[in-house]
Amino acid sequence: MSDYPGTRGLAFREALLWERGRAGRIGMSLPENDVPRAEMDDDLVGDKPDLPELSEVDVVRHYTRLSTWNFGVDTGMYPLGSCTMKYNPKINDRLASLPGFAGLHPMLPESCVQGALKLLHELERDLLEITGMDAASLQPSAGAQGELAGMLMIHAYHAYSGKQRRKIIIPSTAHGTNPASAALCGYAPVAVQLSADGVVTPEAIREIMDEDTAGIMMTNPNTLGIFERHIAEIAAIVHEKGGMVYGDGANLNALMGYADIGKMGIDVLHINVHKTLSTPHGGGGPGAGPVVVRGVLEPFLPVPRIRKRGEKYELASDFPLTIGRLHAFCGNFAVLARSLAYTRTLGGDLKQVTETAVLNANYVKAALKGIYNLPFPQPSMHECVFNDASRRKSGVTTLDIAKRLIDFGYHPPTVYFPLVVDGALMIEPTESESKADLDGFVEAMKIIAEESATNPEAARDAPKNTSVSRPDEVRAARRLILRGETPKRQ
C-alpha cells in the first residue's frame, strides 16, 4: 500500500500490577486520621483482598499504557457491521457536558430540572418526526432493553385484549437479541425461511401466522443489509390475524429522512440512539434505546413519561395500562442529550447522513465484488456481507482475513454474523468515512485476497504488529489468569 496506516512503533509492555507492586506504596495522600482506631473481628472482615500496592506514577503509567493499545473511531476506520461504529462529533460531547446537564442530580425536584425535561421532550418530538410514529418513551437504556420494552407492550396489549398468545415470528436475519427478548415475555420463537434474495416473503408469513401468534419481530434493513421490501404486506397479514409488528430499529441509519416507519405497518420500534444519533458506542455502554409506537400501543408505554402542561414539563406515571418502570430515574441522560445535539445540528441533513451511509456500503461492495464471495449480490443499504468461500481453497478463513486487516491499520469487520452466511464478513463503513479512507480499506482487502493465493501464511500468522498475536480465546475465557508471568508473544 502506498499509504500504510498500520503501526510498527513502540508498544509499551509492562509486568502485571501484582509484580510491580511493593509493600507500603500508596497512590494517594490521605488526611491524618484523628479518629481512634477500632479493631474489627476477623470473622466479620474475612480475607483481605489481594490488591497490589502501587504508587501514583505506577497507576498513571499503567492506564496510559493501556490507552495506547486501544483502537476506536477516533483512531481509524472501524467497519463493524451491525454495530454502526461511526465518528461522534465532539460538539455533541461538549453540549452534553455543559454544567447544567452534567451536574444534575436525579433527585432534584421537577421545578429545578425544567431545562432537562424540555430537552427530553424535544428529543421525543424529533424521534417521532424521524419515524412518523405517534408516541414515544425515552425510558429504555439500551437497544436490548428497547426490544424488551416493545415485547412487554405487545404482551400487555394481548393480555388487555383478553387472549394471551404463545408464539412470535422471528426471521433468521433478525438481531440476535430478538429471540431472548421474546422469550423473557413467555413467547416461543417461530422461525421463518428467507427467499433466495435474502428477504422475508408474504407467502412465508401467511403459512405460519395464526391466532396463537403474538406477532413478528422484523429488523429492517435486515442483518444482511437488505431492505425488507415486503414489510407493509407482511404487516397487513400479521394485523389481519390480530398480531402486532415489532420493528428492530438498530439499522435506522439506513432509513432516516426517507422511510415512514408508521406507514410500513410497524406498531413499535426501538431506536439505538447510541448508534444512529452519535453517542459514543462500544465498550458495553452507555446506551439508550427509546421506543416509538403507533397510537394503539401508547397506553402501554413505560413510565414515567414526559408531559407538557402549558409551559411546564413533568414526569407523569398516571397511566393505568403502562408496563411500568424499566429502571430508576431517566436513564443515561447524557446519551440523550448528545442525541438531541445531533438532530438539531444536522436538521434536514439527516437525509444526507443516510445517503452517505448507503453510498459507502455499496461502494465497498462494488469494489470487492468478484474478489471476495458475495452470497447476496442485491443492492445493499448500510452494510454488505461477504464470506471466505473463495479464499478457503488456500486455507485462509474469515478469521485469518480479519486478523490480517489489523496489520494494515484497520479494525476488523464483524465476523461470522449473521449466521445465515457461513464465514460471514459483515462490513459497515457508516457515513463517517471519506472515499480516500474507503479506498485504503479496499486496497488492504485486495492485498489480503492476493496473499491468500501467493502467500497464505501471511494471513494465517497475522497479526504481526501487535503486542499479542493470536491468543487462545477459548482458553482465555475459561481460565482467566489475573496474576503471574507476563504472557509471551504467541
- For all residues of the chain together, what is the average pLDDT? 91
Query: In what side-by-side order are the strands of the sheet with 384-387?
Result: 384-387, 424-427, 414-415
Which of 123-127, 328-332, 470-474 has maximum average pLDDT?
A: 123-127
Domain boundary (296, 316, 348) is at 348
User: How crowded is residue 243: how many other Cβ atoms within 10 Å of its Cβ?
Assistant: 26
Do both 309 and 445 map to the same domain?
Answer: no
Is residue 483 over pLDDT 70? no
Cell numbers given for 20: 510491580
CB 155 within 8 A of CB 146: no
User: Do residues 133 and 174 both lie within one domain?
Assistant: yes
Give the distance from CA 227 to its chain's centroid: 19
- Domain co-membership, 229 together with 267: yes
Q: Are residues 211 and 253 in the same domain?
A: yes
Is 252 strand, coil or helix? Answer: helix
Separation of alpha carbons 195 and 199, rounded Å: 6
**What integer pLDDT is reported at residue 10 of this predicted model?**
65
Share of the chain above pLDDT 90, in %: 75
Q: Using a pLDDT cut of 70, give the percent of the chain over it.
A: 95
Q: What is the DSSP track for 222-248?
A: -TTS---TTHHHHHHHHHHTT-EEEEE
Q: Which domain-ending residue is among 316, 348, 380?
A: 348
* Cα–Cα dist 437/408, whole Å: 12
**Per-residue cell: 76:** 481509524
Tell whether 383 and 342 lie within a shared domain: no
Domain that holds residue 340: 92-348
pLDDT band of 120, cuts 50, 70, 90: very high
pLDDT value at 415 more than 90: yes
Each residue of 319-367: pLDDT tens digit? 999 999 999 898 889 999 999 999 999 988 999 999 999 999 999 999 9
pLDDT tens for 20-73 read 899 999 988 888 889 988 888 888 878 878 889 999 999 999 998 888 888 888
The pTM of the full predicted model, rounded to 2 decimals, is 0.89
pLDDT in tens, 177-234: 999 999 999 999 999 989 999 999 999 999 999 999 999 999 999 999 999 999 999 9
Given a cut of 60, whether residue 282 has pLDDT beyond it is no
Q: For residue 118, what pLDDT is reported?
A: 97
Residue 89 to residue 93: CA distance in whole angstroms: 7
Q: Are 340 and 279 contained in the same domain?
A: yes
The CATH number assigned to the domain holding 271 equals: 3.40.640.10
In-domain check, residue 106: yes
Question: How much is the pLDDT for 74?
Answer: 85
Contact 287, 141 (CB under 8 A): yes
pLDDT-based confidence at residue 486 (cuts at 50, 70, 90): very low
Q: Which helix (H) or strand (E) holds 314?
A: strand 312-316
**pLDDT computed for residue 477 by the predictor:** 83
- Indicate the pLDDT class of residue 485, thresholds 50, 70 and 90: very low
183 and 272 fall within a common domain: yes
Let me know whether 218 and 248 are in one domain. yes
CB 115 within 8 A of CB 100: yes
CA distance 241 to 218: 17
CA proximity to 395, closest of 462, 455, 472: 455
Residues 343, 421 share a domain: no
Assess whether 394 and 292 both reside in one domain: no
pLDDT band (50, 70, 90) for residue 250: very high
CATH number assigned to the domain comprising residue 446: 3.90.1150.10
368 and 330 in a single domain? The answer is: no
Residues 205 and 269 placed together within one structural domain of the fold = yes
The band of 284, judged by pLDDT with boundaries at 50, 70 and 90, is low
